Amino acid sequence: MSSIPRISKSIITHWTDNVYFQRGQKYYEEGAIYEQRIQGMIIKSKCSGSQAPFYRQEVLFDSRGIKSAECSLSRR
């Protein structure tokens, strides 16, 4: 079974940009990211939101790095 590879800031900003990276880092430092869990090659979490109770985040990895990433609004 593969394990999630180490990734750098430059890899993350390739999927977003520096503005979103900085915003996400601030959310993390303020404790807004919670219920982090690893399920195989997927990292999932929730983030407190202003438009909804929370946002769901999911990052799928393959052996080379990030394969896909998503942040979705949750109405529950």
Work out the average pLDDT over 44-73: 89
Q: Which two tokens stand for residue 26?
A: 């601030």
Strands 54-62 and 33-39: unpaired
The confidence band for 35, taking pLDDT boundaries of 50, 70 and 90, is very high
pTM of structure:
0.81
Task: Supply φ then ψ for residue 36, to 5 degrees.
Answer: -70, 135
Work out the average pLDDT over 19-48: 93
Query: Among candidates 6, 11, 31, 35, which has minimal Cα distance to 21?
Result: 11
pLDDT digits (tens, 9 = 90+) for 4-27: 999 888 888 888 888 888 888 999
**Rounded to an integer, what distance in angstroms lies between the CA atom of residue 51 and that of residue 41?**
29
pLDDT reading at 75 higher than 70: no
Work out the average pLDDT over 33-60: 91
pLDDT reading at 46 higher than 90: yes
